[in-house]
Structure 1
């Protein structure tokens, strides 16, 4: 039979209301009582019913994840990270894929929160970078946490998890320069994503520091997709003076560039070095494996959810909270490693 809150209360020797207060993390519970109840929950392996709690309480125990991103690996990591945090806190997760470019997207997000009675939202790009979304949520007193590209915490950003794309891209570029490359090209991601601009800025900063100036056609606009990598690499490799190294804005683009190069019988990395970004499965499934920057998306998502839970409990008493900064770490693999 399914374990109920009554079973937990009986084993702990407390009232059902006390068990409920512990589950809801209410601060008024004494430590010894809290310990007894949590021990009983663990022994019985009790799982609170979030839907029932939502109906019985003025608080909501569900959060939402709104996304529009073609990268399936990114989405899966984000979902798993959010679920990790939700399970620890007894929350449910509502996943809502949608079109960020829809004319009615702001109202759609607001309707989602109201219809599903959500405690708050976790937003990833491009939603996290849309000021109209943040403004509407604040006007309706809806808690949210954004995952965005950046390196400097600021009170203007409110609740955010920052990813320092600039520094990571700077380090990848330095690695390529240290391998002896001076003809470096860059394959861009979608320009509406701030991560694209930050990664390009890090790339250019590393080149500027060493006094290297590149031709304009070494920087190729594109999108975060395998196909964009194929198309962009084809353009670069058809130049009269092609680059000796390509830094792609993410691993999907890099995998596409690698595919294009192999079709042209170009040896990797002796004739062309290729690096990506994010350390998605794409980077490990290619041959040779891709040098990249490890971005711990699951941990990032979990941290975002934890901040959201704090924001829900604190309401407006502390609108700043903390803004953790993640710097993706350089991972050197065979696609750039010299013999």
Structure 2
């Protein structure tokens, strides 16, 4: 016969309400009682009834909402969120969307009504869109935002922020220290705040070292391999071409590397290339790409746990939402070296 929650309670020597609180991972139960309950759950092979959980109105799933062309980023995010969900006893609903669609808010409302998730993990550009945040607050939907910045921008929700500006500064300063003075910047999609933050870090480093900000070396574009190829060809066709390129992500940097090969420009002897993110692109390229390590799996796992904790705590609107920062670190590989004239 299938074990029930009362069987677990009897074996653990606790009330069935305590078992329920432990299984729902409420923070009010002490570690000793938790250990007893989980030991009984394992011995009896008890399977919680998620359907009953939904009937009681308790959340049993969270949603991951994204609009991002970078498949590596999306996969790492999914892995991190799934890991947190499995540890915390939640299911994951994944919903890709077009953040620019005129009916995006209606689409998300339909998804929320259909799936009955307890909250949402939002990634850029959705997490950085004021209209989206306001709509979710009006609907009283809990959410956590992953976004670019040096601190949490407000107290509207739990937040995970990535300090892209400091990382952009560190990358540029590293290239300057190698003797490079003509350093190009290849941006990403401007609706993502990360592109603007990395650009500001790049400019900060140039200013600190009294180097001119040459707009001809700053090319906006997309977070895509093809965009890296196209813009790098333009840069490398200049009479006074750059000796180093800071690409806003590893896909762009891989495109830059490809363009250099086509044009017969040796990397890193004639051109140093630095990417951002430490994705498989950076490790599979030849030469391997110098980059800034952004731990997307850990970032996603952290965000999911902040959201689940917020759902369980049923935080009052006046409470202080949790926030955690991440600081991408430079990883030096083979695609960069001292400038030829140093």
Q: What TM-score results when the alignment is normalised by the length of structure 2?
A: 0.92
Q: Secondary structure at the match of 2:147?
A: strand
Q: Where does residue 321 of structure 1 map in the other structure?
A: 321
1:335 pairs with 2:335: yes
1:121-136 counterparts in 2 under 5 A? 121-136=120-135
1:146-192 Cα shifts (integer Å, max 9, x gaps): 00000123444532110000001100111111111001000010011
Deviation at 1:70, TM superposition (A): 0.8
Instruction: Give 1:7 shift.
Output: 5.9
Asked whether the equivalents of residues 62 and 92 of structure 1 are also in contact (C-alpha less than 8 Å), the reply is yes
Show CA shifts across 1:241-285 (max 9, x none).
100000000000000000000111111101000000010000001
Post-superposition offset of 1:200: 0.4
Q: Within 5 A, what are the aligned runs for 1:9-88? A: 9=9, 11-14=11-14, 16-26=16-26, 29=29, 32-43=32-43, 48-50=48-50, 52-88=51-87
> How many angstroms apart in 2 are the aligned matches of 1:108 and 1:49?
29
* CA 256–3 in structure 1, closer or farther in 2 if over 3 Å, else same: farther
Compute the RMSD of aligned alpha carbons: 2.1
Q: 1:205 — aligned with what?
A: 204
**Residues 208-254 of structure 1 deviation map (CA, whole Å, 9 limit, x = unaligned):** 10010143210111100000000010010011110000000000000
Query: Conserved in 2, the CA contact under 8 Å of 1:53 and 1:61?
Result: no
Do structure 1's residue 108 and structure 2's residue 107 form an aligned pair? yes
Taking the TM superposition and a 5 Å limit, the aligned residue runs for 1:58-207 are: 58-207=57-206
**C-alpha distance 202-31 of structure 1, shift in aligned 2 (>3 A):** closer
Q: TM-score normalised to the size of structure 1?
A: 0.93
| Secondary structure in 2 matching 1:324 | strand
Name the residue aligned to 1:278: 277
Query: Retained in 2: the 8 A contact 1:166–1:199?
Result: yes
Number of matched pairs: 338
1:274-309 Cα deviation digits (max 9, x unpaired): 000010000001000000000011111111111111
Unpaired runs of at least 5, structure 1: none
Does the 8 Å CA contact 2:164/2:327 hold for their aligned counterparts? yes
**2:142 touches 2:157 (CA, 8 Å); kept in 1?**
no
| Matches of 2:275 and 2:52, distance apart in 1 | 44
Deviations 1:307-326 (A, max 9, x none): 11122123342543221110
Distance in 1 separating the partners of 2:323 and 2:334 = 35
Give the direction of change, closer, same or farther, for the CA distance of 1:30–1:281 in structure 2 (3 Å limit): closer
